[in-house]
Structure 1
Amino acid sequence: MNKDKTMKKVNIQLFASQNITMHSKDALSAKLAECFVTIRGNRYKFMQAINLEAKFEKNKTEIPILGKTGKGNKSSGWAGTGSATFHFNTSIFRELMEIYKDTGEDVYFETQISNEDPTSSAGRQTIILFDCNIDGGVLAKFDADGEYLEEDMDFTFEDFKMPEKFKLLMGMV
């Protein structure tokens, strides 16, 4: 072997005998995130958001297999769904509902979510959801016994990209 291309021997048993665990500092703070919504070319910092969750759900088809008593599963598509809770202090999404009511135009938008905790070694992850569409929403609200107003919104999305990915933590590989 060439001197420039030397391979290090790794003692796999050494790593197997060590109990490598995640450092608590690498758990991301749930509060340190950014969320932007782009509607018709206007980008809004969605600081009213309290929480948001976007899910990728695969559609699976059961496949009968000769010689097996059970069935297999084959992915046959996917669906993007999400939900958010935010402070009841913006009319942006109510405007989309009004546009749909008045004109029949269903306005789609993009949502960008970034998670980054400066204490964590994981770094930053950004997900961009494309062709988001709200399922509906709250038009008006009050609560004489409440402390503040919030609203929930469900939505769908048709595509996503991940331009920034978390780093692998020490001990993962």
Structure 2
Amino acid sequence: MVIVPQPPVATAHPERRWEPRLYPGTLATTGRVRSDLRTDLARLTGLGGDLVETVVLCASEMFANAVEHPRSGEADGRVIRTLAVHTAPGAGSVLRLSVIDDGARGTRPLVPRQRTAGEWWEAERGRGLLLVEHTAADWGARPVLDFPFCAGLDTVTWAEFALPVPARAEPGR
């Protein structure tokens, strides 16, 4: 039997990771988070404006949660945003947005409990992760892995978005 090596199969979206971005844990930084994300997403060709705005909306909500609930919102708090494109088996290429916080004040991010229509009407808060749940293809939260360079970090909240077939990361940008 002869074994012939096969060239890698080309995908519409090559695997790609952007440099993680570190932000101070203040709500005043949210505009910079959105601007930086738009800059990073501009490196994907063929990405529609609606998808860009959806990803930016989710990032805003995830960042606000990371500042509001865990220690990231305290003095010297920090939030890390990561962005990657990967191929999901049977699902094509996926954009994964992650927000990493400094540690819990007791709870992990959750979609709010069921509310009555009146409670939703009166509520001033608690819709952020609900927006993420309804606009992302998938989302979740998990503990940060225990590595020395991750000291002090606690929770990764992530959201995934299916990429259109023609979108691809431009090399060298």
Q: What is the TM-score normalised by the length of structure 2? A: 0.30
Higher normalized contact order (CA 8 Å, seq sep 6+, divided by chain length)? 2
Instruction: Report which of the two has the higher share of strand.
Output: 1
Instruction: Report which of the two has the higher share of helix.
Output: 2
Structure whose CA Rg is larger:
1
